[in-house]
Structure 1
Amino acid sequence: MELRQLRYFVAIVDHGSLSRAARVLHIVQPALTQQIQQLEEELGTSLLHRSAQGMQATDAGKIFYEHALAILKQVADAKSAVNQTTDKPSGTVALGIPQSASGALAFPLLSAVRAAFPDIVFQLTEELTGNLTEQLASGRLNLAVLFDDGQLGKFTTKPLVEEEMMFITRADSQFACKRKSITLAKALQVPLILPSIQHGVRPRIEQVVRDQGLRIEHVIDITSIAILKSAILADMGATILPMSPLLPEIERGEMRATPISDVNLSRTVVLCSSKNIPLTNAAMAVEKLVLDLSRDLSLGGKWLGTTSLV
């Protein structure tokens, strides 16, 4: 198996066509086809099939595609690490962030990296927490913002903030609390609109509810934060979340956030990297920037509901 075969295969999947991939790779199509056939013979399985939509990965091909991306990224990182200097880091840095934290951190981070490190190609991806964990473990990501649920032992972790979760409704909701705070038991009597279990925030909520000897009786599972917002604004129920993903609506007065008074319902936001794959100078520079930025956002009151841990 050769690296060029991995590049060829990834290009075909990305472009959905042998002819387009051949043009991008600057090789003739028969040579490309031959290399893929050799790769499939070595692996003992078909990686691609032709459909009405073009060339697509088989089930085995989809698995191999993820591994190929991770391998190619690690090779690129290794080359970059050899050539770059600490005073002017360069290369590609891929960082993943969960949907429920991107509202507070994503745009400030993009702006900060661009200003501080113009030679770094910064790739910021927003994903479900479970997807981020897999991509970080495989090497497709250099860094990931995750939530410490006690299951991050395979990663190097650096705490960023402790983020309080609130009971959040539409401002004029029938479910809104009339007092300045609400108990967890009272909050659970309302139909709850919560992120699905793949989100890092959901297991934390479930754990606290169990620890209090309570149950979530009425819940609407929604994967998308955008759809969750729409459901709250339609007054289908309330949610229990940090303020950051709903901050624009809260600041505009469209939603109301009420503290939960009788339990410590919060999540620890951490920056993670692989214990097995060393960080490049560029990735280390971005890592330090994330730590500094999260501290400044928290202490400056721009990441509401958080306590800095940096």
Structure 2
Amino acid sequence: MELRQLRYFLAIAEHGSFSKAASAVFVAQSALSQQLAQLESELGQPLFQRLPRGVELTAAGRAFHPHALAILRQVEDARQSVTQAEGEAVGKVIFGIPHSISQALALPLLKAVRAALPRVELELTEELTGNLVPQLRTGLLHLAVLFDDGRLDEFRCHPLLDEALLLISPADAPDAPSGPIGLRDALRLPLILPAQPHGVRPIVEAAARQAGLAAPNVVADISSISILRTSLLAGLGHTLLPPMPMQRELERGELRAVPIAPEHLSRRVMLCASRHIPASAATLAVARVVQTLVGELCRDGSWREGRLIAKEQAPFLDMRTEG
């Protein structure tokens, strides 16, 4: 298996055509076809299905695609690690952020990295939490923000903050509480929650079990923050979330948020990287920027209901490979 075969495979997958892919990678179509045939022979599976117009990935091709992409990204990281200017982080860092964290972190992080690391290209990927895990595992992501659910041992993780979950309701809902509400009463309300295993759903259900309470009264499973927001504004129910994804609506008075008390629900936000894929200097530099930025956002109140776990946090390194 050769790197050029992986590049050709990815080009064909991207363009859906041998001729367009050949033009994109500057080789003759016959040479590209020959290299793909050798790759398919080595893998023992056809990677593309030929169609009347173009091609599409087979099941084997779809399974192979993220691995090919991850390998080429790691090769580029290795090249950058030996060619970068001394003492300056250079290269591309692909950073995964859950939908419910994006409002708090995405724009401040882009600004902070641009200011502190001018030669680092930061690519943000916004996904459901459950989709970020396999991408981080295979190397499609260099870093990701994940929530500590007790199953992150495969990654190198650093705690960033604890984020309180509030009951968020339409402002004019007749059953919306005006002050703190107990967990039992909150779980009885018609709730709109992300589907398992995404977001806060495992936290809410675990809290109910630990308190010996009935399962939450979920009237809709919605894992999209934008659709969940629309559903709340339409008066279809309540949700249990940190306030940052709904910050604008809360500020405008369209939604209201009250704490869960005395139980207090929260989720721990972690910065994670692979244990087995070496981290580039650019990745480590972005990780340090994230740590500093999260501290600033919590201290000045920009990250509402965010609480730093410790005053002095250890640096997010050493991220060499393990095992």
TM-score (normalised: structure 1): 0.97
Q: 2:316 corresponds to which residue?
A: none
Q: Which residue of 2 aligns with 1:110?
A: 110
Unaligned runs of 5+ in 1: none
One-letter amino acid of the structure 2 residue matched with residue 102 of structure 1 = S
Matching residue of 2:317: none
Which residue in the other structure is 1:189 paired with? 188
The alpha-carbon deviation at position 218 of structure 1 amounts to: 3.2
Q: Counterparts in 2 of 1:52-131, with a 5 A limit?
A: 54-85=54-85, 87-131=87-131
What amino acid does structure 2 have at the position aligned with 1:107? L
Runs of 4+ in 1 over 4 A off after TM superposition: none
The answer as to whether partners of 1:175 and 1:237 remain within 8 angstroms in 2 is: no
Partner residue in 1 for 2:288:
288
Write the mapping of 1:1-310 to structure 2, written as runs, cut at 5 A: 1-51=1-51, 54-85=54-85, 87-178=87-178, 180-214=179-213, 215-309=215-309, 310=313
Stretches of structure 2 that go unaligned for 5 or more consecutive residues are: 314-323
- RMSD (CA atoms): 1.3
288-297 or 10-19, which deviates more = 10-19
**How far apart in 2 are the matches of 1:52 and 1:177?**
60
2:167–2:257 CA contact under 8 A, matched in 1:
yes
3-state SS of paired residue (1:267): strand
Separation of aligned partners in 2, 1:141 and 1:188: 35
Q: Secondary structure at the match of 1:188?
A: helix
Task: Quote how far apart the aligned CAs of 1:121 are.
Answer: 1.2
Give the TM-score normalised by the residue count of structure 2.
Answer: 0.93
Q: Is the 8 A contact 1:99 1:127 kept in 2?
A: yes
Offset of 1:54 from its aligned partner?
3.2
For residues 149-178 of structure 1, give each alpha carbon's deviation from its aligned partner in whole angstroms, at most 9, with x where no partner exists. Answer: 111111111111100000001111133113
SS for the counterpart of 1:176 is: coil
Aligned-residue offset at 1:11: 0.9
Q: How far apart, in 2, do the equivalents of 1:51 and 1:258 lie?
A: 56
Question: SS state of the match for residue 226, structure 1?
Answer: helix
What is the one-letter code of the residue matched to 1:47?
Answer: L
- The alpha-carbon deviation at position 71 of structure 1 amounts to 0.7
**Counterparts of 2:294 and 2:287 in 1: how far apart (Å)?**
11
Distance 1:182 1:77 in 2: 49
- Counterpart-to-counterpart distance in 2, 1:225 and 1:50: 38
SS, match of residue 188 in structure 2: coil
Give, in angstroms, the shift of residue 52 of structure 1: 6.1
The alignment partner of 1:165 has SS state of: strand
Quick check: 1:170–1:235 contact (8 Å CA) kept in 2? yes
Deviation readout 1:27-76 (Å, 9 max, x if unpaired): 11111111111111111111001336732111110010011011111111
Work out the percentage of aligned pairs sharing the same amino acid.
Answer: 50
Cα distance between partner residues in 2 of 1:39 and 1:255: 55
Larger deviation: 28-37 or 79-88? Answer: 79-88
Give the match's secondary structure for 1:237: coil
How far off is 1:185 after superposition? Answer: 1.0
The whole-number CA distance in structure 1 between the counterparts of 2:303 and 2:115 is: 20
Cα distance per residue 1:136-158 (max 9 Å; x no partner): 11111111101111111111111
Indicate how the Cα distance of structure 1 residues 36 and 232 shifts in structure 2: closer, same or farther if over 3 A, else same: same
Inter-CA distance 85–263: structure 2 relative to 1 (3 Å threshold): farther
Could you tell me which amino acid in structure 1 is paired with residue 200 of structure 2?
Answer: V
Distance 1:271 1:206 in 2: 24
Tell me, yes or no, if the aligned pair for 1:250 and 1:257 is still in contact at 8 Å.
yes
Structure 1 counterpart SS, 2:216: coil
Q: Give me the whole-angstrom Cα distance separating, in 2, the residues matched to 1:53 and 1:94.
A: 33
| Counterpart contact for 1:99–1:128, Cα < 8 Å | yes
8 A contact 1:86–1:281 mirrored in 2 = no
Partner of 2:319: none
Shift of 1:217: 2.9
Shift of 1:86: 5.5
Deviation per CA, 1:113-136: give whole Å up to 9, x if none: 112112111111011112111111
Q: Identify if the C-alpha distance between structure 1 residues 8 and 164 changes in structure 2 by more than 3 Å, giving closer, same or farther.
A: same
* Distance (Å, rounded) in 2 between the aligned partners of 1:54 and 1:29: 13
